[in-house]
Structure 1
């Protein structure tokens, strides 16, 4: 076998190895979509100053909820009420729509307008128990916080639109515009919402 044949054989082997690695990667990606139901699909965590109060946080378009409904109807091991390892589990990652709508297949549709996270959590739990299932264990958590654009005007370094989250403060929005100008006054701040102006500082 001469040098040319050896080189050709080596190139063919490299191509085969490359093709196999591609197939394995594609298979891994494909299998990934069928992983455990408890795999976390939520967005990247947003740094928070402190935990969110469920009774004060009002849900809105873009918030994401993670809902897990586990049926406890399939019995039973001796001496046990139910077997969690064999329980049927349904999982939802749902975004609240532009009109504040929240749709959970087989459970129902909910309106989040003017409602807190705690209120919606209770609505989902009560509806699932009453309407769809007899014995269930329900977990509802806030998986991701919405973000939206607001307009910063006045004596800031870069007036215009900035992206903020529902937990950001007014001072965070001003910082996103690179702060107040040298001759600006950071104690005179107004919030304009729905045509109504309110002095904050």
Structure 2
């Protein structure tokens, strides 16, 4: 189980007073010390947003984790580890509690990284507060259900994913298959966000021979 921590809204420090481009709240279903594709993407996007002059806050499960990522503040949500499913935390909070955090942080936009449990609450809170949302769909939740012997939950997972992404203002997907999947769930306003190459890591200058 989780340990009690300070009220979530009190975890946020006052925002900086100098001009910034945008104030962005990133909501992730998992984050460090967990390691998975969603965490890797959130780290890279958070770095990019910070380095291009934006103020970033990460909202993530796990009170035991760090509250700072390379100078980016993390607000941790009480959560439990799902038995039998590696690297998966379920956050326990309410839409109203997330809305309080949003009112204190005052984000210009909310970035939802593979929203499911925490992301669903954040999507509802953002809608309630009139804050635009961007949803990233990159996790095949129904496929995971089958993989972990929960095939009976596939339809429920599909319905839940569709409900979340229909609430979101802009949905981003990495490939045509995921585009088609969301459209099949009645989701609109979908745009392609293809994967890139890190030129610092993969450069012709580094090749051998």
Q: TM range, normalised to the smaller chain?
A: under 0.3
TM-score normalised according to structure 1 size: 0.23
Of Structure 1 and Structure 2, the greater strand share is in 1
TM-score normalised according to structure 2 size: 0.22
Query: Which protein has the larger Cα radius of gyration, Structure 1 or Structure 2?
Result: 1
Of Structure 1 and Structure 2, the greater helix share is in 2
